[in-house]
Amino acid sequence: MTEECFPDEFVWGVATAAYQIEGAVTADGRGPSVWDMLCRKEGAIWAGHDADVTTDHYHHWRQDVALFRELGVGGYRFSIAWPRVQPDGVGAVNDKGLGFYDRLVDTLLEAGITPYATLFHWDMPLAVYHRGGWLNRDVCGWFGDYAEVVVKALGDRVHHWLTLNEPQVFVGCGHYDGRHAPGVRYSMSEMLRCGHHALLAHGHAVQRIRAHAASARVGYAPMAFPKVPRTEADEDVAAAYRIFGSMRQATHWNLPWWTDPVVFGEYPEDGLRVFGKDVPAFPSSDLAQINQPIDFLGLNLYDGQVVVSGADGEAEVVPHPPGAPITGFNWPMTPEAMYWGPKFAYQRYGKPIAITENGVSLRDWPSMDGRVHDPQRVDFLNRYLRNLHRAVAEGVPVEAYFHWSALDNFEWADGFRERFGLIHVDYQTAKRTPKDSYYWYRRVIETNGAALLGVEAASAYTQRFEVERKRVASILEAFPNADR
């Protein structure tokens, strides 16, 4: 690798999830999911939106793959809808549903795009929820059976698998604060039980994948919760790393509770302490079952918390300063998280890393010229990817980067308010319009990252305003001091 770019085998990709893009919720025998149920619940989704149609990818997937091919991605991370494959969650397999992914995989391969399939991105079959969902220990075996069906069908062509997407969110938001499907507010101990079963289900799925696709590379995609030292002084770096790997509060918003059992075969001690009596009782053999070897650790990474070593040496979180950049979702923009996140995760877990999600929501719309100009996305990505490059250049084994998202889509409880895509979608017509960032990312991919390293890349889209910008600059120059 030269300093200017990423390793030759680095995978530049885009990511989506079935429920957010597919639509066609009753087509070809698909069963209902917990999200279909939540979408029917008054007040659950922003502005009463639902995902019955969303981008209608189920009927536009060929066009979408063609756009991904033109983008030049090496990998596409998508998820498989369990209720399409097994409408009742257990038993009968719906060949039509499975057939959709079968064709998708073939078409991706023809386009030279490596499929990365996620088995679970939150759309649990409603019938499984009616049998207790994640609270019922039997779900672990059912999920294993589902994984086996999928891997038997696709494992000859799909060599990269992810088991669960963000257990912190589907367990915590779904079963504790109730914002996500199934929208219940269990007690802390019930939520932790659900979480334990999800981890166990992960273990079952890994075993089934290995049993039916011997050469598969298997990963897991938790939310990353990166920490960023405020300065690069040793004490700040050490403080940030300490917080990254510790659990100081009884909350599901952390990485170690969800990743230590997977990689080390044990829950973190401080987590057991803070959760105390709420930790579910389970047979000790569960930990070995959860601790199946994984080949890479996925990180969904959007922002990080800044940490400083305080006066008494205690690690302290520094709030995002007032007015500092935030995204459409009001998430802080913290590009350094893309350096420290993978670095700390590798330091703690020792697994190769794939950035399974990263991106930004903005209020994009087609301009009068018919194009979608999103310079803030370009700037955001330029900053984050330069930080990723720094991690890679320093030897952190990051194999892949999947931009969230390929196209605008249904953002869960926030409906269609948030637009994360490189491709704009008009939800009334299903019309796709690649945004400026799509063309920019295309150039990044084409140059294997070299295009990131010149500032021209980020400013290219505003250069046509050169004359106006000069005029404004001269106005500013005329008033060199702030008015007093």
Residues that bind ligand FCB (CB under 6 A): 17, 20, 165-166, 169, 300, 357, 404, 411-412, 420
Burial class, 22, CB count within 10 angstroms (exposed 0-12 / middle 13-18 / buried 19+) = buried
In whole angstroms, the minimum distance from the beta carbon of 411 to ligand FCB comes to 6
Nearer to ligand FCB, 180 or 197 (CB): 180
Q: How far is the CB of 290 from ligand FCB (least distance, A)?
A: 21
C-beta of 49 vs 212, nearer to ligand FCB: 49
Helix 375-393 vs helix 436-446: crossing angle, to nearest 10: 20
Residue nearer to ligand FCB on the CB measure, 94 or 165? 165
H-type helices in 213-291, by residue range? 234-244, 256-264, 269-275, 285-290
Q: How far apart are CA 115 and CA 113, in angstroms?
A: 6
For residue 22, indicate whether it is catalytic.
no
Instruction: List the structure tokens of 310.
Output: 């305080």
Closest CB 432 distance from ligand FCB, rounded Å: 19
Instruction: Work out how close the CB of 106 gets to ligand FCB at its nearest, in angstroms, rounded to a whole number.
Output: 25
Cβ distance 120 to 220 under 8 Å? no
> Which CB atom, from 169 or from 337, has the smaller least distance to ligand FCB?
169
Residue 244's closest CA among 148, 344, 164?
Answer: 344
> Least distance to ligand FCB from the beta carbon of 4, Å?
30
> Which tokens sit at 132?
């207790």
> Of the two residues 212 and 419, which places its CB atom closer to ligand FCB in the complex?
419
- In the residue annotation, 446 being an active-site residue is answered as no
d(C-alpha 8, C-alpha 438), whole Å: 21
Residue 230: what residue type?
R
Helix or strand (DSSP H, E) at 62: helix 57-71
Shortest Cβ distance from residue 469 to ligand FCB (Å)? 33
CA–CA separation, 172 and 166 (whole Å): 10
Q: Among residues 357, 399, 411, 418, which one is catalytic?
A: 357
Of the two residues 241 and 302, which places its CB atom closer to ligand FCB in the complex?
Answer: 302
Helix 188-212 vs helix 139-154: crossing angle, to nearest 10? 30
For 47-58, give the secondary structure using H, E and C: HHCCCCCCCCHH
- Please state the closest distance from residue 328 (CB atom) to ligand FCB, in A: 11
Structure tokens at 275: 């959760």
Please check whether residue 146 is in contact with residue 139, taking contact to mean a CB–CB distance below 8 angstroms: no
Q: What is the C-alpha to C-alpha distance for residues 84 and 96, in angstroms, rounded to an integer?
A: 8
- How far apart CA 309 and CA 235 sit, in angstroms, is 6
Give the shortest CB-169-to-ligand FCB separation in angstroms: 5
Nearer to ligand FCB, 300 or 309 (CB): 300
Q: Select which of 166, 336, 411, 418 is catalytic.
A: 166
Phi–psi pair at 307, nearest 5 degrees: -125, 145
Q: Is 34 left (phi over 0), alpha (psi -120 to 50) or beta?
A: alpha
Pick 302 or 340: Cβ nearer ligand FCB = 302
Q: Residues with Cβ < 8 Å from 390, sequence gap 6 or more? A: 339
Active site residue ranges? 166, 357
